[in-house]
Structure 1
Amino acid sequence: MRFRGRTSGAIVVAAVVGSVVLTGCGGGDAEAEGDGRSPSAGTSAGAREQGTTEVRAAYDKTAEAESARMTIRMKLSADGKTITSDGEGVIDLAEGDSVMTVRAQDGTLEQRVVDQVLYQKVTGQKAPGGKPWIKIDLKKAAAQQGLGNQQLGDPAQTAAYAKAITDKDVTKVGTEKIDGTSTTHYKVSVDVAELPGGEQMSKQLGPTLPMQVWLDDEGRLRRQQIDMTVDAPASASAQPDNSAAPQRLKMSTVLQFSDFGTEVDAEAPPSGQVADMTDEALRGARQQS
């Protein structure tokens, strides 16, 4: 987690792609967007349709809780090296603001997301200029990933993503308990091409993105797991000055929510204590892609 281009690039990839998928699979009028099959399609088809409806609606229902306590576990692997991290904190489910403490192999950092800007302060380290905090503009990072001016984490955008999941993409696994709460476990295959910016994303992620979700009895998200492999385009990996860039990055992210309605107090650090590392992070992301 040192302030270097490669690590910052990985953070941007995780933040952009992870946030897009978290937002992207919700919402819309799922029942009104059915595939036109008749009620006689059969019990299994009906079960798939119900599962699709529940998964599509889960993100809106979770956002309606306004806030929650969140834990995250992330594993990044590239060039034969693996970085693992885990964090805990609180998140505003409607706006996307959050406050977290994240621990990894080489230290602990305090992280805030405020108005689509990521702030991080690593214990015992200084950013350029001796500043304690760095910041990365996630909107700018999203634009680089071909996602335009969309607001990451904005539940108002969820209707545009509902098309990315069809009845054949959702499979009910069973029921499980998470921290004593009963949940229903689904496996989901997200059609990357149907996501905004999907044409560019599919070049790195492939045609589908595997995801698992666990929903409580109120239809809210309790756990989400995303396992993705990001491949560097051949044109980028063939360039001599990018010879050190990883050909493939594997990322597994598990988000878990609890204590819905908890208070969230996310404020940006004083501007004089912050070094803007957006451009460096984007350079690192380009080298990896």
Structure 2
Amino acid sequence: MAEQYGRTGGAVAAAGLTACVCLLASGCAGSGAAAEDARPADPVRTLHQAADTLVDAGTSKARTSMEMATGGTRVTIRGEGVYDYTRQRGRLKVMLPQDPSGQTEHRPITELLAPGALYMKNRGAGVPADKWVRVDTSTLSDGNLVTGGATDPYAAAEVLRGTRTAQYVGRTEIAGTEVNHYRGTADLTEAARTASPEGRASLAAAAKGFAKAEVPFDVYLDDEGRIRKIRHRFSFVNGRQQATVAVASTTLLYDFGAPVDVRLPPEEDIYAGRIAEE
């Protein structure tokens, strides 16, 4: 059942969720004639077009998983929802990990994704339950590739616009669908330069904010060129502890053409107060 919201503006910092983040491709490849027939002539060019292919597909459902590791600490944040690629809007329900004691259960955070903005509800940290937090993603050092606990599916695809090197690994299967597996490295600076107008500022922020602008990835495309699974490996420096945090972000896309209606919250529903750090 689609949630109904209206458009908004305003900006606040997502300090608490960023602090939570900072605390912290399987399958058998095919062989023979079928695999040879599927081999692309130019993997780099194919991946440059992956984001545009999602726009042509219109909408899909999505599942996300973000694994973060620093020192001896490892956490996983999972999400599930829908995305409209033509409007670059999505809605995810994100589950934060339990406290190390395992005793505290976190309420799911509802996230609305839009060009240049991240909206969060059930944010906690002193935010009223009926209010939304809005974050300008161009002000985040990772461009919201990490901060929200889930990588925006369209932003994940736009990272591939910066593909520098890529190789075709082979055929495999994901959730009953035959796919082509590619592995390579993308440059965030190049991705920002060639991204859609709505996505450039966020990717440019990520290119400057991550420890490295080069992003290794594995991606699986179906026979229509649509991303079915993509896994990025990001690296950033925790500003407080000056420790490098390794992040593996995985996004699964399925049920293309599913109905999606994402409306952003009105101005009066945006929390403008101070956000406590958790």
Normalised TM-score (structure 1): 0.64
Q: Which residue of 1 aligns with 2:77?
A: 85
Match of 1:220 among 214, 226, 237: 226
8 Å contact kept, 1:114–1:266? no
- Counterpart amino acid of residue 92 in structure 1: D
Letter in 2 for 1:87: G
Aligned partner of 1:117 in structure 2 is 117
User: Superposition pairs for residues 1-289 of structure 1, below 5 Å?
Assistant: 5-8=15-18, 49-78=41-70, 80-106=72-98, 107=106, 108-122=108-122, 125=124, 127-128=126-127, 130-141=128-139, 162=161, 164-166=162-164, 169-196=165-192, 201=207, 204-206=210-212, 208-231=214-237, 244-276=240-272
**What residue identity is the alignment partner of 1:69?**
K
How large is the RMSD of aligned CA atoms in angstroms? 3.8
- In 1: Cα distance, 2:95 partner to 2:61 partner: 17
Residue identity over aligned pairs, in percent, reads 19
Instruction: Kindly indicate whether the alpha-carbon contact (under 8 Å) linking 1:114 and 1:267 is maintained by their aligned counterparts in 2.
Output: no
Alpha-carbon offset, residue 6 of structure 1: 4.6
| 8 Å Cα contact 1:132-1:274 kept in structure 2 | no
Partners of 2:154 and 2:176 in 1: how far apart? 30
Q: 2:90 and 2:143 mapped to 1: Cα distance? A: 24
Q: Distance in 1 between matches of 2:204 and 2:114?
A: 26
Query: SS of the counterpart of 1:230?
Result: strand
Structure 2 unaligned regions, length at least 5: 1-12, 23-35, 99-105, 145-151, 193-202
Q: Per-residue CA shift, 1:58-82, capped at 9, x if unaligned?
A: 2211111111111101112335433
| Larger Rg, first or second structure (1 or 2) | 1
Q: Name the structure with the higher helix share.
A: 1
TM-score normalised by L of structure 2: 0.66
| Unaligned segments of structure 1, at least 5 residues | 13-43, 238-243, 285-289
The structural deviation recorded for 1:213 is 0.7
Count of residues paired in the alignment: 225
Quick check: 1:87–1:103 contact (8 Å CA) kept in 2?
yes
3-state DSSP of counterpart to 1:190: strand
SS in 2 for 1:73: strand
